Structure 1
Amino acid sequence: MERITRADDRVHRPAGPWTPTVHRLLEHAHGQGFVGVPEPISLGDTLETVSFVPGTAGDYPWNQDIASEAALVTTARMLRHYHDAAQDYPRSDADVWSQAERAPVETIVHGDFAPYNCVYDGIAAVGIIDFDTAHPGPRVWDVASAVYRFAPFTTGLVEGGSASLEHRLGRAAEFCRAYGLDARSRSVLVETMVSSLVALVTTIETEAAAGDPKFVSDLRHGHVELYRADVAFIEEHADAIAAAVA
């Protein structure tokens, strides 16, 4: 299994059937003036090479800058700018995505928008990486993922996971405000969070059963149990979350 490696200002990553389409997406984003994504450099049979996006990834545990309200706001604005740049991507029959299209199609969503796929310069979000799960879909699919991860609405031991519900609700509302999420999308945010987590559990279990080592590891390390517990937590507080982001 190929690994992700970096050499100076270039990153070498495993390529899949969807990688040529992702390269066209990244080129389109750059053409629209959104330069906070990797720039495609080359594509081989098993590896792709893209530019390195300088900064600090939002891996756990977060540092003080990435946990800040300013980082939350700049992340939301960055996601909005990416969605705006990708909304007129010229789709074609040649496109291959790793995920199924989701209706209503409003843009090309990232598909795994989370702190670890965002890049920061201090408190400012400056980039988005790892577009393997990009696919046509509604903006709220990425926003729901972001709200789940950044509020955060998790029972796990991650940054902010022990914060009060009131604090998490405030961060969820602030993310939606900074993004400029429309009323219809806000009305389905909670159910979209749940749907995305259920889809993630299904993917882990299916791919682990097929022998994919990454998902076998995820299953072994209790990710499925965590996501199911998070679904229960979100459903328990669904009314409060919906009211906060309305």
Structure 2
Amino acid sequence: MMSQLKNKGYAIYDYMETLKYEGIEEDYEALLEYFEYLPVDDYAPELNRYRRYSRALVLPASKNIEWLPNVVRDGREYAAYFQGKFNPEHPGSYREFHAIDPHILENTLLKKIIMADYEETFWGEEDMIMPIHVGVHFVKLEVDEEGERAVSSPDCLHQDGEPFTFAHLIERRNAEGGINAIGIPSVSGSQPEEVDEDKLHEVFELNRPLESYGVEDSSVSHYVGPITKGGGEGPAVRSVILIDYQLTVVADMDE
């Protein structure tokens, strides 16, 4: 049976249910606690966004995950990220994010999520002789004050440039907004409310832990809205793990 991701260009998942294994709750709690202490996103300190990032390879033959080394700056470890032309807020930029700590990289739930996403992706037979590159972002939006917003990047319908991207909710607490939208590619750069309804495939919210979605980048654009404080006590929080997959690029020696 053809997967929804392949058929429609996007799919919605409930990984708490489909990945259920003995110990999943403890592994989830370890990830949840780790998000409490994410450092501020150095590239947008005013947007109430916190982030860590690490890079890995998935070896198609063995299905092993190999974490790539980090760069060290002033005694701190960073992972390099190149967005290319697809993020209008950072076009063509090379950025370095605080790396995810080694004990979290070995978290069983995180590794199961990475491989479950990987199994949803699809590639040409010739592509499978090389490792698949995986980028793992831990991103938290947090708002402490009434009237403030926490904003994802980029703040519009967009495509990422990587062939596949998946988002997994870790926590949503006392938050308004944060809607997700999936649209056709040509509405990239627009806000969902600016787009005709027939150009949006689906608008939805992720509310429960490990509610997730994935997109095939060439087929759709996607969006997550800013969050503001809800009516409860404490800050508004929306924490997600974003995972992208792309091919190993082999240089053309004739150029």
Q: Tell whether the structures are fold-level matches, with TM greater than 0.5.
A: no
TM-score, normalising length: structure 2: 0.26
Bigger fraction of residues in helix: 1
Query: TM-score, length-normalised on structure 1?
Result: 0.27
Higher relative contact order (CA 8 A, sep 6+): 2
